[in-house]
């Protein structure tokens, strides 16, 4: 009887929701209000031939772990693993509203179940939440959306959660984005703030480093949008303050500090959308790109005479290209990615502390072919093979005050991925 009551109650709620949706959608042309719910369910199984550096139960893959030997010379990280997850299931809602202030207005909110941190996996987290306003020649977006470095229109066509990292940026920031339209040309100016993708520093991952700088992350873009061609270039600047105070170990005295470190990044990106195939690509050159799920970071050095810290960026270069067939039932594709640490081998003081990702890696590359079976818009099937190789270095002393990295060895991981996607 309890099961019957619960079933009937659920049916009533669903019918009421469907009725409300029909009523709003039917009146959308008259009132201007309306909404649309969309999303997908995509359980994925994946097998790795080696231990990896990643997150979210290792579904987010960066690169293979370095060699680590036991007492008998066996590589501990040469270990395969198998897993299956459905945490990327997603649901979103677009809410259309009547014209306001002379602009077309809509709001969008979206979530999935990857959690905002490793400890929150399988819990609902906020992906996007923004208000979009469009006038004839101007646009304004306010809320949480893709970081400007992501260039959403040219994202890779891969299915796994990593979406091309550490070659393609992957993060979402709370932001204010202004766009000026000149026909097919667009100029964008964005000021953004961190939340899920935090900077790293002396207190671990935290938004405090950007907040303490009193300056949002700034981005400027120029974009050309044609019928089949999409091209763009951008500049990004971030200023952080890793410390507000520190204690000198020798004297035990505590000092206030306001020393900051700025980092810049440049990117070009593009997409060609043909009748049967797509080509997408992006190249990035920049400093301290840790927050974008790329390699990079910075290191600090303490001067005991001046009682101050000096911060130095790690530079990174990445490039990727994605080919895909965009019509028919069988849709093959290929992702190719490459990245390097521009600061690899630089001399660093022995007492320096590093913050970031892939600091001891010289270069990384990935080859990722895939096949999609798309019999209809609702039910899709995907299979992918992802090979990622990383060239690690080792630290060697150079004198009494410095050490440097030299190339040592390369390790690779093969990942096999199978996914079923139900779109709604």
The reply to whether 35 falls in a domain is no
| pLDDT score, position 30 | 64
Q: Cα dihedral angle (368, 283, 288, 293), rounded to 10 degrees?
A: -30
CA angle 327–90–278, rounded 5-degree value = 25
Q: Domain total for the chain?
A: 1
Contacts of 423 (CB under 8 A, 6+ apart): 38, 39, 40, 377, 378, 379, 380
Please give the span between the terminal C-alpha atoms of the chain, in angstroms, as a whole number. 32
The reply to whether 23 falls in a domain is no
- Residue 26 three-state SS: helix
The reply to whether 29 falls in a domain is no
Residue 169 DSSP symbol: -
Written as tens digits, the pLDDT of the chain (424 aa) is 444 344 334 443 443 444 444 444 444 556 789 999 999 999 999 999 999 999 999 999 999 999 999 999 999 999 999 999 999 999 999 999 999 999 999 999 999 999 888 888 999 999 999 999 999 999 999 999 999 999 999 999 998 888 999 999 999 999 999 999 999 999 999 999 999 999 999 999 999 999 999 999 999 999 999 999 999 999 999 999 999 999 999 999 999 999 999 999 999 999 999 999 999 999 999 999 999 999 999 999 999 999 999 999 999 999 999 999 999 999 999 999 999 999 998 989 988 999 999 999 999 999 999 999 999 999 999 999 999 999 999 989 988 889 899 999 999 999 999 999 999 9
Alpha-carbon span 175 to 186, nearest angstrom: 18
How would you label 179-203 residue by residue, b for 16+ Cβ within 10 Å and e otherwise?
Answer: bebeeeebebebbbebebbbbbbee
| Cα Dmax for the chain | 80
Q: How far is CA 89 from the centre of its chain?
A: 17
Sequence-ordered alpha helix ranges (H) in 207-342: 208-211
| pLDDT score, position 119 | 83
Q: Are strands 44-48 and 402-423 parallel, antiparallel or unpaired?
A: antiparallel
Q: Within 10 Å of residue 329's Cβ, how many Cβ atoms? A: 9
Alpha-carbon span 291 to 298, nearest angstrom: 12
- Domain span at 203: 40-423
The reply to whether 4 falls in a domain is no
The reply to whether 19 falls in a domain is no
Q: Token pair for residue 140?
A: 């304004």
Residue 21 DSSP symbol: H
Q: Nearest-CA neighbor of 148 among 227, 241, 223, 63? A: 223
The reply to whether 15 falls in a domain is no
Q: What is the pLDDT of residues 323-372, one digit of tens each?
A: 999 999 999 999 999 999 999 989 899 889 999 999 999 999 999 999 99
The reply to whether 303 falls in a domain is yes
The percent helix, strand, coil of the chain (3-state, each to 5) is 10, 60, 30
Cis upstream peptide for 166 (omega within 30°): yes
Q: Nearest-CA neighbor of 177 among 155, 197, 192? A: 192
Q: Within 10 Å of residue 377's Cβ, how many Cβ atoms? A: 8
Domain of 283, CATH number, reads 2.40.160.10
Residue 199 · residue 240 · CB < 8 Å? yes
- Would you list the DSSP string of 304-348? TTTTEEEEEEEEEEEEEEEEEE-SSSEEEEEEEEEEEETTTT--E
Alpha-carbon span 58 to 52, nearest angstrom: 7
Residue 69, judged by CB atoms within 10 A of its CB (0-12, 13-18, 19+), counts as exposed
The reply to whether 14 falls in a domain is no
| pLDDT score, position 2 | 46
């Amino acid at each position: 009887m309890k099961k019957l009551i619960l079933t009937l109650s659920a049916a009533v709620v669903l019918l009421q929701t469907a009725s409300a949706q029909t009523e709003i959608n039917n009146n959308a042309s008259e009132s201007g209000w309306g909404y649309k719910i969309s999303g997908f369910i995509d359980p994925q199984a994946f097998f790795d031939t080696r231990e990896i550096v990643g997150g979210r139960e290792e579904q987010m893959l960066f690169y293979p772990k370095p060699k680590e030997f036991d007492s008998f010379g066996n590589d501990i990280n040469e270990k395969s693993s198998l897993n299956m997850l459905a945490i990327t299931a997603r649901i979103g809602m677009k809410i259309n509203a009547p014209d306001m202030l002379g602009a077309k207005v809509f709001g969008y909110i979206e979530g999935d179940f990857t959690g905002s941190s490793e400890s929150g996996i399988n819990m609902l987290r906020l992906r996007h939440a923004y208000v979009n306003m469009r006038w004839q020649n101007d646009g304004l977006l306010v809320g949480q959306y893709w970081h400007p470095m992501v260039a959403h229109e040219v994202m890779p066509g891969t299915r796994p959660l990593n979406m091309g990292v550490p070659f393609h940026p992957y993060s979402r920031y709370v932001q204010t984005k202004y766009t000026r339209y000149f026909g097919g040309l667009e100029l964008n100016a964005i000021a953004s703030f961190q939340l899920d993708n935090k900077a790293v520093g002396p207190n671990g991952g935290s938004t405090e480093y950007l907040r303490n700088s009193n300056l949002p992350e700034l981005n400027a873009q120029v974009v050309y949008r044609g019928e089949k061609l999409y091209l763009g270039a951008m500049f990004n600047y971030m200023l952080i303050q890793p410390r507000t105070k520190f204690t000198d170990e020798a004297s035990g005295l505590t000092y206030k500090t306001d020393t900051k470190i700025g980092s810049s990044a440049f990117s070009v990106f593009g997409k060609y959308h043909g009748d049967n195939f797509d080509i997408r690509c992006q190249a990035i050159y920049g400093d301290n790109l840790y927050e974008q799920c790329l390699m990079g970071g910075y290191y600090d050095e303490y001067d005991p005479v001046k009682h101050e810290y000096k911060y130095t960026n790690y530079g990174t270069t990445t490039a990727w290209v994605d080919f895909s067939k965009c019509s028919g039932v069988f849709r093959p594709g290929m992702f190719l990615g490459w990245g390097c640490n521009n600061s690899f081998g630089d001399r660093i003081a022995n007492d320096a502390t590093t913050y970031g990702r892939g600091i001891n890696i010289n270069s990384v590359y990935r080859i990722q072919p895939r096949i999609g079976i798309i019999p209809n818009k609702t039910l899709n099937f995907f299979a992918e093979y992802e090979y990622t190789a990383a060239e690690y270095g080792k630290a060697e002393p150079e004198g009494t005050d410095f050490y440097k990295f030299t190339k040592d060895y390369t390790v690779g991981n093969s990942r096999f991925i199978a996914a079923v996607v139900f779109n709604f």
